[in-house]
């Protein structure tokens, strides 16, 4: 009789233990299994976790590291505001009850943006622009003519921007499936070309004076000329003049080999140098 009673008691105890095992020790454990996060119009949203006092939101790039991490007491976070370029991202939300983790969930999403137009500037023959996050390259046009796709944030235009006049350039940030091509950024500017150099120098005796004369540049007389005369690596004179002729009698009176160098100057810009080598017999006066 006692054996039957013990057996019945053991069976009853096993039923109680089995029922207790089916009930979670912590109510939040059951909720953690259903905790989830979704992306709605660029905002991560989730339901409040049972017992949670705060949430940590982390954003990571596909094939990259963690982009951003923050804490909040809300049940939403505007993740799109913290992403500068398009691509695939994962957002992970972890719920805490004080310092204890009570739930965690992640979701992967794609983010597509329209690239920001670059901001071009032009100086000393170089077109430069700001880096645009997410851009794969930059297409450039000059006066409507396409040049190339550049991967750097500058382009040498010295060989194209030569003549004096107005120029219009555009720079467009090129993208991919997540980073849509930007609108072109336009820049219009004036370019003042340096004057042309003089040419055709001659040396002649006039009324007992030795005069060197050169031809005025084809684009017109400059504001002035900068000239020098060198002999045997020694500078004999370096000066300016407004006419296209200079008296060099005193400089060359002992004779020898000489090199004349002249530059045109206008609007603060110098031309390329023109050089002229000549010989003067000793006692040339």
The pLDDT tens digits for 202-239 are: 999 989 999 999 999 988 999 999 999 999 999 999 99
The pLDDT tens digits for 60-103 are: 998 878 999 999 999 999 999 999 999 999 999 999 999 999 99
Which range, of 32-41, 82-91, 188-197, averages the lowest pLDDT? 32-41
Which range, of 13-22, 177-186, 242-251, 263-272, averages the lowest pLDDT? 13-22
- Note the helical H segments in 24-146: 27-34
Task: Give me the pLDDT at residue 193, please.
Answer: 85
Catalogue all structural domains in the chain, each as residue range(s) with its CATH number. Answer: 25-111 (2.60.40.10), 121-191 (2.60.40.10), 199-280 (2.60.40.10)
pTM attached to this predicted model? 0.61
151 vs 135: CA distance, rounded Å? 9
Token digits of residue 107: 């979701």
138 vs 171: CA distance, rounded Å? 6
Coil/strand/helix, residue 263: strand
Taking a C-beta distance cutoff of 8 angstroms, is the pair 235, 271 a contact? no
The separation between CA 79 and the C-alpha centre of its own chain, rounded to angstroms, equals 25
Taking a C-beta distance cutoff of 8 angstroms, is the pair 105, 39 a contact? no
């Amino acid at each position: 009789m006692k054996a039957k009673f013990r057996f019945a008691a053991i069976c009853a105890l096993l039923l109680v233990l089995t029922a207790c095992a089916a009930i979670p020790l912590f109510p939040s454990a059951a909720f953690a299994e259903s905790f989830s996060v979704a992306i709605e119009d660029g905002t991560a949203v989730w339901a409040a976790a049972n017992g949670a006092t705060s949430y940590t939101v982390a954003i990571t790039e596909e094939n990259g590291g963690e982009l951003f991490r923050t804490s909040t007491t809300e049940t939403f976070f505007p993740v799109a505001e913290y992403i500068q370029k398009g691509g695939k991202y994962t957002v992970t939300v972890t719920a805490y009850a004080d310092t204890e983790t009570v739930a965690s969930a992640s979701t992967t999403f794609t983010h597509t943006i329209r690239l920001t137009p670059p901001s071009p500037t032009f100086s000393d023959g170089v077109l430069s622009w700001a880096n645009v996050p997410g851009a794969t390259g930059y297409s450039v046009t000059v006066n409507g003519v396409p040049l190339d796709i550049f991967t750097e944030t500058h382009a040498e235009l010295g060989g194209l921007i030569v003549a004096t006049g107005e120029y219009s350039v555009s720079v467009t940030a090129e993208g991919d499936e997540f980073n849509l091509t930007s609108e072109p950024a336009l820049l219009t500017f004036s370019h003042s070309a340096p004057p042309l150099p003089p040419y055709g120098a001659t040396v002649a005796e006039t009324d007992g004076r030795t005069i060197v004369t050169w031809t005025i540049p084809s684009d017109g007389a400059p504001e002035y000329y900068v000239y020098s005369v060198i002999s045997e690596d020694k500078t004999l004179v370096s000066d300016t003049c407004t006419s296209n002729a200079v008296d060099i009698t005193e400089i060359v009176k002992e004779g020898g080999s000489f090199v004349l160098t002249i530059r045109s100057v206008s609007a603060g810009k110098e031309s390329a140098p023109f050089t002229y080598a000549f010989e003067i017999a000793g006692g040339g006066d």
